[in-house]
Structure 1
Amino acid sequence: MKVTLNGEWTQIPDNIIFVSDVLKHYKIHDKVVVVEVNGGILSKLEHQSTRLADKDRIEIVHFVGGG
C-alpha cells in the first residue's frame, strides 16, 4: 500500500492494516504520539481500530525532550 507519511510518499508493507501497525513498524508504539489520518486527529484508542487504505495521508508527531 502506498501512503503519504509525514509529507512523503511511502510504500508500507501489506501486513500493515491499522494505524497501530504503522506505529509498531516504525518502533514508535511506546512513545507519546499524535496521529492524524486524512486531516482528522485520532485518539489513542482509535489507533487500533482505524484501518488504512491506499493513498491515505498520515501525519505522526512525537515529542522529544531536551533542555
Structure 2
Amino acid sequence: MAEINGKYEEINDVNLLDYLIANKYRVDRVVIDYNGEIVKKLEFSKINIKNTDKIEIVCFVGGG
C-alpha cells in the first residue's frame, strides 16, 4: 500500500495528477514529495502511484 501523508492507501495504477484531483486538492497550491524528491507540477501526470511509494502532499493556504 502507498503511504500518503502518513496514511496507507491501496492504489490501483492512478497517476499523481488524477489522485490529487479526485481527492479535491488544489493542484496549483500543493508541493509533492514523492519518495524523497520534490516533483515539478508538469510531472504530476507522468507519475503513476505504486503501492510501494511514499508521498507527502503539502498544501499552501492564504491567510492573514
Structure 2 match to 1:32: 29
TM-score (norm 2): 0.84
Count residues in correspondence.
64
Identify the structure with the greater helix proportion.
2
User: What SS does structure 2 have at the residue aligned with 1:21?
Assistant: helix
Runs of 4 or more, structure 1, over 4 Å off, are none
Q: Measure, in 1, the Cα distance between the counterparts of 2:23 and 2:49.
A: 15
Kept in 2, the 8 Å contact 1:20–1:29? The answer is no
Q: Which runs of 5+ in 2 are unaligned?
A: none
**TM-score of the superposed pair, with normalisation by structure 1:** 0.80
1:10-58 deviations in whole A, cap 9, x for unaligned?
Answer: 234x3x5111011011111444110111111100000010111112101
**What do you get for the CA RMSD once the two structures are aligned?**
1.6
Give 5+ residue unaligned stretches, structure 1: none
Between the aligned residues of both structures, percent identity stands at: 38
